[in-house]
Amino acid sequence: MNWSEAFNANRQPSDDDIKAFIGQGKLLWSELFSYIDAAYQVKPKLAFSQCSAQPGWNVKYQKSGKSLCTLYPMEGFFIALVVVGAKEEETVEMALGTFTSYVQSLYRKTSFSCGGRWLMIEVREQPVLNDVKSLIAIRVRPKRLDVPQ
């Protein structure tokens, strides 16, 4: 079943609902939540989007008014939207060789528009999750530097 159909604007999902829908991806989901909590001391915000590209409930993380990422539950995995803005572009391009081939390819295919490259990263495995953490850390420096990636 489609996420936006299972949980429409009038039916907000619980944390357990989200994890159940994500299924096998819930360990990666939980790891990203733990990382962001430890590194940035920010709490997630559940929001409903009418956006045609990815409608439905999503989880947003912001630090000092700057978006860290937006997470979209999918059946068996999740998507992490990380925007690489003009300020981060040079740093990301220098680090690009350290990312998975999937994220490298996605970055190269995604054109710069609306102030950045809007990377919709499908998180299905640990190396891709590590890339998401790295991109977030480039976007906004972690508050705590001793947090393991």
Per-residue model confidence as pLDDT tens digits over 100-146 = 999 999 999 999 888 899 999 999 999 999 999 999 999 998 876 55
75-100 confidence digits (pLDDT tens): 999 999 999 999 999 999 999 999 99
Q: Is 138 in contact with 99 (CB distance < 8 Å)?
A: no
Checking if the pLDDT of 147 tops 60, the result is no
Structure tokens at 34: 């733990």
Query: Model-level pTM greater than 0.75?
Result: yes
Q: Rounded CA gap, 103 and 122, in Å?
A: 9
Q: Rounded CA gap, 15 and 12, in Å?
A: 10
Tokens 């000092």, located at residue: 64
| Better-scored residue on pLDDT, 32 or 63 | 32
Domain positions in the chain: 3-139
